[in-house]
């Protein structure tokens, strides 16, 4: 079975950049009939909060992404401890005692000599006595994984054949001085334990892949298939970031955007699949192939989002809208069909509905009063159908010679108080003759 995972850090609200891999993993799992794991990478006990973790679940559910399994790394430390013991026993994990300042000075010296600023493995030359002396001074070790220093090759489902030379990399630190784990070891251990078959993530992780493959192999695990997608940026090419307080998914929800609009923009931007209205995430899953993902940046366009959001509402059926209309105290298919084409956000319907129910403030120019008085006198008797607007304006045109904007705009302003809005031919039967009479001078 295909098993994928999305692994956010619960250190704040997730943004569009986070939603992209969350959705691409979901599409792949749905398309292959596989399993979707939500893994909370909450080993950073200082920054990770349960509130953030809960908000991630809420945001995913709003996007219609429901994981098959939820795991929290903070509850799985026994697995990481066992992996640590195995790597130490095999000589692949070794203690280092350099301070951050000492490491900075070594890197600066290497650069000055024209050498790559990678760790020189000085800690491997320490004797037991050296380590005892350093610990007596109060130093606590951090632990590095000893890389093979070779060409690690893998086939990326998006980028094609990839090679990472671990000989050009520093042995990565897997465990901090305080004994806490950095991202890499828990991630690898979980991928092995959860039998993850495909790792779908941002292209900023390509360079990490060589290291992770070496650790997986050192622990006797099966190497998953990798797919590294392009990153989502804003219109200026700036990446989304929690540190930069990028607009969060919950912000978009609070602003009244449709979850499907957000999902489409977060996932399809930067692919050859057109940004258009889709019925559901499942429809996107069936159509979006990894070969459609561009190798260039994916630039999010807020104007395109607004247009897409409006188009989704314009295509929404009454049955789909009914639960939300009911919650707003609005019902009636005729009202929905009359007003939906003027919505940009669903909540706009509250104000638009007042065009039917009132009250409205008629806008009446002094030079149009005589014309509007005649319009009132020529207002047809009920019952009214969709043809009442053309019947009424036809009579007015014949009586006054007015046409175009001179004919229609004064009527619209008097009946709705707005220059724009729903077509009056569909609105008038809903407003009714008595209300129209009241709005005309």
Q: Residue 113: is its pLDDT beyond 90?
A: no
As a whole number, the mean pLDDT across the chain is 95
How does residue 246 score in pLDDT terms, banded at 50, 70 and 90? confident
Mean of the pLDDT values across residues 332-348?
95
pLDDT at 45: 81
163-222 pLDDT, tens digit per residue, is: 999 999 999 999 999 999 999 999 999 999 999 999 999 999 999 999 999 999 999 999
DSSP 61-129: HHTT---SEEEEGGG-HHHHHHHHHHHHHTT-EEEE---HHHHHHHHHHHHHTT-------GGGG--HH
Mean of the pLDDT values across residues 95-116?
91
DSSP 9-38: --SS--BHHHHHHHHHHHHHHHHHT-EEEE
Considering only CA atoms, which of 144, 152, 183, 156 is closest in space to residue 168? 152
How does residue 240 score in pLDDT terms, banded at 50, 70 and 90? confident
Tokens 């690898």, residue located: 188
pLDDT at 110: 86
Cis peptide bond upstream of 383, omega within 30 = yes
Contacts of 264 (CB under 8 A, 6+ apart): 275, 278, 284, 308
357-369 pLDDT, tens digit per residue, is: 989 999 999 999 9
Mean of the pLDDT values across residues 419-427?
93
Are the C-beta atoms of residues 175 and 182 closer than 8 Å to each other?
yes
Mean of the pLDDT values across residues 82-89?
98
* 3 state DSSP class of 233: strand
What percent of the chain shows pLDDT beyond 90? 92
Are the C-beta atoms of residues 196 and 223 closer than 8 Å to each other?
no
End-to-end CA distance of the chain: 72
pLDDT at 244: 67
Q: Residue 73: is its pLDDT beyond 70?
A: yes
Q: Residue 115: is its pLDDT beyond 90?
A: no
Mean of the pLDDT values across residues 271-292?
96
Specify the DSSP class assigned to residue 47.
Answer: T
How does residue 243 score in pLDDT terms, banded at 50, 70 and 90? confident
Stated pTM of the model: 0.91
Cis peptide bond upstream of 359, omega within 30 = yes
């Amino acid at each position: 079975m295909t098993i994928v995972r999305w692994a956010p850090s619960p250190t704040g609200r997730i943004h569009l950049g986070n939603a992209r891999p969350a959705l691409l993993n979901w599409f792949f799992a749905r398309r292959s009939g596989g399993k979707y794991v939500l893994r909370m990478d909450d080993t950073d006990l200082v920054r990770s909060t349960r509130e953030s973790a809960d908000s991630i679940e809420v945001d995913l559910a709003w996007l219609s992404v429901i994981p098959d399994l939820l795991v929290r790394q903070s509850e799985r430390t026994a697995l990481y401890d066992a992996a640590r013991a195995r790597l130490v026993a095999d000589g692949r994990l070794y203690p280092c005692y350099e301070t951050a300042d000492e490491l900075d000075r070594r890197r600066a010296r290497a650069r000055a000599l024209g050498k790559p600023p990678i760790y020189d493995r000085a800690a491997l030359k320490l004797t037991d006595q050296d380590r005892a002396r350093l610990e007596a001074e109060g130093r606590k070790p951090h632990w590095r994984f000893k890389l093979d220093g070779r060409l690690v090759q893998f086939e990326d489902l998006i980028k094609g054949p990839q090679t990472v030379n671990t000989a050009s990399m520093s042995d990565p630190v897997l465990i901090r001085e305080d004994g806490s784990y950095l991202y890499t070891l828990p991630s690898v251990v979980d991928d092995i334990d959860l039998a993850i078959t495909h790792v779908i993530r941002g292209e900023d992780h390509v360079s990490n892949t060589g290291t992770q493959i070496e650790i997986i192999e050192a622990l006797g695990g099966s190497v998953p298939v990798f797919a590294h997608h392009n990153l989502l940026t804003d219109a200026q090419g700036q990446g989304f970031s929690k540190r930069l307080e990028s607009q969060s998914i919950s912000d978009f929800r609070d602003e009244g955007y449709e979850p499907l609009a957000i999902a489409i923009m977060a996932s399809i931007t930067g692919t050859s699949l057109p940004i258009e209205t889709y019925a559901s995430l499942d429809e996107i899953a069936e159509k979006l192939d990894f070969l459609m993902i561009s190798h260039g940046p994916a630039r999010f366009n807020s104007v395109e989002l607004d247009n897409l959001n409006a188009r989704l509402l314009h295509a929404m059926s009454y049955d789909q809208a009914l639960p939300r209309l009911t919650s707003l105290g609005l019902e009636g298919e005729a009202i929905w069909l009359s007003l939906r084409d003027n919505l940009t956000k669903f909540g706009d319907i509250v104000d638009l509905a007042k065009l039917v129910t009132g009250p409205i403030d008629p806008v009446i120019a002094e030079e149009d009063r005589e014309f509007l008085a005649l319009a009132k006198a020529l207002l047809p008797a009920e019952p009214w159908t969709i043809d009442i607007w053309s019947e009424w304006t036809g009579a007015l045109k014949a009586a006054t010679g007015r046409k175009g904007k001179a004919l229609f705009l004064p009527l619209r302003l008097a009946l709705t108080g707005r220059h724009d809005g729903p077509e009056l031919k569909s609105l008038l039967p809903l407003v009714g003759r008595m209300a129209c009479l009241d709005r005309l001078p």
